[in-house]
Structure 1
Amino acid sequence: MTTAHWLFGDQLGPGFLDGADGEGPARDAPVLMIESRAVFRRRRFHRAKAHLVLSAMRHRAAELGDRVTYVQADTYREGLRRAAADGVRVTVHHPTSRAALALVRSLDRVTVLPPRGFLLRQDDFRRWADAQRGLRMETFYRHVRRDHEILMDGEAPVGGTWNLDHENREQPPPGRRTLGAAAPYRPREDEIDEEVRRDLDRWEREGDVAFVGRDGPRRFPASRREARTALRRFLRHRLEGFGTYEDAMLADDGVMSHSLLSSSLNLGLLDPAECVEGAEAAWRAGEAPLNSVEGFVRQIAGWREYVWQLYWYFGEDYRASNALGHTGSLPDWWNDLDADAVSARCLATVLRQVRDTGWTHHIPRLMVLGSYALQRGWDPAAVTDWFHRCFVDGYDWVMLPNVVGMSQYADGGRMTTKPYTSGGAYIDRMSDLCRPCPYRPDRRVGADACPFTAGYWNFLHRHRGTLEHNARISRAVHGLDRLKDLSALLEQERGRGEDPP
């Protein structure tokens, strides 16, 4: 009986067709790929994200040539009926979302193979997690480092320290509008991109789908070759300066020295092992400092791996977590990425980056976008969905733990030890975004009160009963007692509404 292998749109690298370990498809097995229009119809995705995913799928199909049957269908079920004749068995690697996993498990002739694209097996993580008193990323990160011998000197971490985060929190260089790093790799569009853009234009004209954001020239790799080129350029020209200013923001330099590899990893075009091994090789060759290499390794072998594993470990109920009882709706200006309606320079700048590119680095996501949503008390499920739809690297497994756990503290501390939010002083210290701005980061009350500073104290007041017992934030909560203008601040915030700041 013939067996074909189904590739989802985030399983596009060679590792998903490698059956050498006995846990993949048969060598030279026929390949099925299905483009489902319903995926884009259900949600209002960023146009650049839709373009990238379709371009990457069609580039992979072109590479596979006659080996692949590529079907454009309304749904995956319809596509599978058209792509695989009766009697053909189908294998597929474990999908990256619970919904997709439920779909493939419901199909009689489909066999689900183990996941690919991550460092640890799920059963290995579960054994580790079940033995822990608490799930903290730092402990997990050390486990992965030891298990995979990453940046290790025997049993000890190289340099004698596991985590060099304290060296990676420098403020941006004073007076500089850009970091001055070498430019990141930018792909060149081709006829496949032209075809994708025509199709997306037609779908919108027909009223079949609606997008948000702008679809300019494609900024992120859509093929294995492009992704490998982007990785090499980062390792050779940008990794050296990555660490020191990893948490800094500049209005005119949205990419700083960041790798821009998250979308390639999440499409399956790059494997995490080749990324961390390349970074370690750069350090051992004296081409990049340890703080930059360790910081990059921690993002991939630590945080990315941790988020993937927790998505499955916590179970489906995690999605409904709402420990703070936030129920607010996302306003239209936020959903529409209407940066031009926003006066607060930090928020306008970051929304503009999302609108124009579908990407910002982790600090704008956490300490500008996520922090604002948390302070306003928006429904964490709606915030999660927004991040999923609006970022080119956003998938359900990525955003559910990142937003519910890290950004919105909706799990009450299962994943992190405190809410990640701040007043304007943090943004002012770590960026040039507060000047010029009609609001002042040191003002809580008044026409020029910073929405983040006022929002921070309002958030602490609203959740005082919950947060005053948290050792990492209790000191700030008790600071409410010293605010002589607290009543005026609370009245001001009640009247703010959901108009853009």
Structure 2
Amino acid sequence: MPEEQPPPTHWLFGDQLGPHFLDPARGGPHRNAPLLMIESRSVFRRRRFHRAKAHLVLSAMRHRAAELGDRVRYVKADTYRQGLREAVGEDRVTVRHPTSRTALDLVRGLPSVRVLPARGFLVTHDEFRTWADGRGTKSLRQEDFYRWVRQTHDLLMDGDRPAGGKWNLDHDNREPPPRGATDLGVPAPYRPRESDIDAEVRDDLDRWAREGDVEFVGEDGPRVFPATRREALAALTRFVEHRLATFGAHEDAVLAKDPTMSHSLLSASLNLGLLDPAECVERAEARWRSGDAPLNSVEGFVRQVAGWREYVWHVYWHFDAEYRTSNVLRHHEPLPDWFTDLAPDGTGANCLSHTLEQVRATGWTHHIPRLMVLGSFALQRGWQPEAVTDWFHRSFVDGYDWVMVPNVVGMSQYADGGRMTTKPYTSGGAYIDRMSDLCGPCRYKPSVRVGEDACPFTAGYWNLLHRHRDRFERNARMTRAVRGLDRLSDLEALLEQERERRD
């Protein structure tokens, strides 16, 4: 009898850290396979990452290696190729499907590496291709996909009908912040305690910066996001038991002194692979079925995880590699230094400076400041969308290539011309004023378009519509807004003000 060969080494990337990535029953490596993790310095040289993001990723990787003990070989190398040569030479290696096109091209180009199916998502690539087949790129709408995921995974379903009779309760989840409140008054989110590994990571990052080898942006305060499976599960429990019930109604609202509101803060843990999306949505649904959380809150959370997150992951791979360079609006303005440096004093707009300060301090802010403050401002100013995408990727602890390319190119900057969304997501200052408490102390007035008191979002909104009038007036969801240009008595003054700003 031929001697049985030992199983090949299995390579774990730094966003494949949960036990579900090693489950042999789900297409994982052999249970006795030796494991490899590679910490590549070149990853941090390529971009100026947020310091808190670099800390979180390295802390999570090193914590996972400590948990795995002798089973894993942890290599610190200049590049992935160098680390792989040092660890296994030309021996066989398996790896889960990576989460970026660059990483996938790397592993597919190595003859000794076999790529296993992706994990960390509810829907497989083959299942998505089957769903998308014959629909065409104009018909791959998130809402249709979300309903299909709910049906095929029996999420919030009563038989063949959606729980409560409606698929989407977004209408119930758009309330402004409570009048006069400075916070929602809900229990605080889970916060981890740092370990000796965190101190080691911080020392290494300090040394890299001193040596001039790597440059960071933002602050690296006490770690606020989970770096281990145990911490991530504690954060999930904290959310579903104490914060989920109040999540829905005000999920689009912003309060200056309550940056987390009732948001889960689980995106970083999901994107590091510490949590499986199935366990997140199943635990949320269980809270509704037990009567401990209202349907609108649970449905809103399920839609974020099983709807939007899954959709973004698959759109990233379904569209071709050139999608990331889409720029149908022909926006080419460079990002200003104050924005890339996360310098909140660079702008006089309170909403923008407040949001930049939060990103600078934590590497995180929830989806409305991302979309309707940061993204909207970039869109209105005509900043180059690929550069905006890179900025979001570098600046957020939960930012990865697959996350930011669809979210920024498609949704935020409308650079794909509507392949993902049906309209540009932008607004004047009135929306920010209604949904936040940020406009009151601001030097600008959300109702003013021209002059020293003009809100940059209000002026920017109308200028954007004017620049792209021919395109937007053909969009059924934008026609009414574009026609509003004809009712502006100060349009010429508005356009002159914009020309002066650009000069």
Cα displacement (A) at 1:320: 1.4
- What does residue 95 of structure 2 align with? 92
- What does residue 291 of structure 1 align with? 296
**Per-residue CA shift, 1:129-154, capped at 9, x if unaligned?**
12325111110000000000000001
Aligned partner letter, 2:398? D
Cα displacement (A) at 1:411: 0.4
- What does residue 31 of structure 1 align with? 35
**Per-residue CA shift, 1:233-271, capped at 9, x if unaligned?**
000000000000000001111100000000000000000
The alignment partner of 1:91 has SS state of: strand
**Per-residue CA shift, 1:92-133, capped at 9, x if unaligned?**
000000000000001111000000000111111111112325
Equivalent in 49, 73, 80 of residue 69 of structure 1 = 73
- What does residue 50 of structure 1 align with? 54
User: Is the aligned partner of 1:114 residue 2:117?
Assistant: yes
**Per-residue CA shift, 1:23-56, capped at 9, x if unaligned?**
2100021000000000000100000000000000
Partner Cα distance (1:130, 1:458) in 2: 39
* Equivalent residues in 2 for 1:443-458, closer than 5 Å: 443-458=448-463
Partner Cα distance (1:32, 1:84) in 2: 9
- What does residue 420 of structure 2 align with? 415
- What does residue 383 of structure 1 align with? 388
The alignment partner of 2:152 has SS state of: helix
Partner Cα distance (1:128, 1:93) in 2: 23
TM norm structure 2: 0.98
Aligned partner letter, 1:103? L
Partner Cα distance (1:28, 1:363) in 2: 45
Partner Cα distance (2:322, 2:454) in 1: 39
The alignment partner of 1:226 has SS state of: helix
* Equivalent residues in 2 for 1:178-197, closer than 5 Å: 178-197=183-202
Equivalent in 281, 286, 311 of residue 281 of structure 1 = 286
Equivalent in 341, 345, 348 of residue 346 of structure 2 = 341
Aligned partner letter, 2:215? A
Cα displacement (A) at 1:496: 1.8
- What does residue 204 of structure 2 align with? 199
Partner Cα distance (1:122, 1:193) in 2: 35
Cα displacement (A) at 1:340: 2.2
Aligned partner letter, 1:128? W
* Equivalent residues in 2 for 1:456-495, closer than 5 Å: 456-495=461-500
Does the 8 Å contact 2:312/2:407 carry over to 1? yes
The alignment partner of 2:492 has SS state of: helix
**Per-residue CA shift, 1:367-418, capped at 9, x if unaligned?**
0000000000011000000000000000000000000000000000010000
Aligned partner letter, 1:132? R
User: Is the aligned partner of 1:321 residue 2:307?
Assistant: no
- What does residue 81 of structure 1 align with? 85
- What does residue 123 of structure 1 align with? 126
Does the 8 Å contact 2:145/2:311 carry over to 1? yes
Aligned partner letter, 2:331? H
Unaligned segments of structure 1, at least 5 residues = none
Equivalent in 81, 92, 106 of residue 103 of structure 1 = 106
Cα displacement (A) at 1:497: 3.8
* Equivalent residues in 2 for 1:389-404, closer than 5 Å: 389-404=394-409
Aligned partner letter, 1:65? G
Equivalent in 1, 6, 10 of residue 11 of structure 2 = 6
The alignment partner of 2:501 has SS state of: coil
Partner Cα distance (1:331, 1:436) in 2: 24
Unaligned segments of structure 2, at least 5 residues = none
Percent of matched pairs sharing the same residue: 73
Cα displacement (A) at 1:341: 2.5
User: Is the aligned partner of 1:270 residue 2:279?
Assistant: no
User: Is the aligned partner of 1:251 residue 2:256?
Assistant: yes
Q: Larger deviation: 195-204 or 473-482?
A: 473-482
Partner Cα distance (1:15, 1:82) in 2: 27
* Equivalent residues in 2 for 1:200-215, closer than 5 Å: 200-215=205-220
Aligned partner letter, 1:52? L
Partner Cα distance (2:383, 2:32) in 1: 49
The alignment partner of 1:355 has SS state of: helix
Does the 8 Å contact 2:411/2:424 carry over to 1? yes
Partner Cα distance (2:413, 2:342) in 1: 20
Partner Cα distance (2:59, 2:273) in 1: 14
Aligned partner letter, 1:468? E
Aligned partner letter, 1:193? D
Cα displacement (A) at 1:228: 0.3
Partner Cα distance (2:419, 2:404) in 1: 16
Aligned partner letter, 1:24? G
Aligned partner letter, 1:363? I
Aligned partner letter, 2:161? A
Q: Detail structure 1 runs of 4+ shifted over 6 Å in the superposition.
A: none
Does the 8 Å contact 2:335/2:388 carry over to 1? yes
Partner Cα distance (1:20, 1:346) in 2: 48
Aligned partner letter, 2:354? T
The alignment partner of 2:243 has SS state of: helix
Does the 8 Å contact 2:339/2:346 carry over to 1? no
The alignment partner of 1:496 has SS state of: helix
Aligned partner letter, 2:144? T
What is the RMSD computed on CA atoms of the aligned residues? 0.9
Cα displacement (A) at 1:343: 1.4
Partner Cα distance (1:453, 1:179) in 2: 28
User: Is the aligned partner of 1:132 residue 2:135?
Assistant: yes
Aligned partner letter, 1:108? P
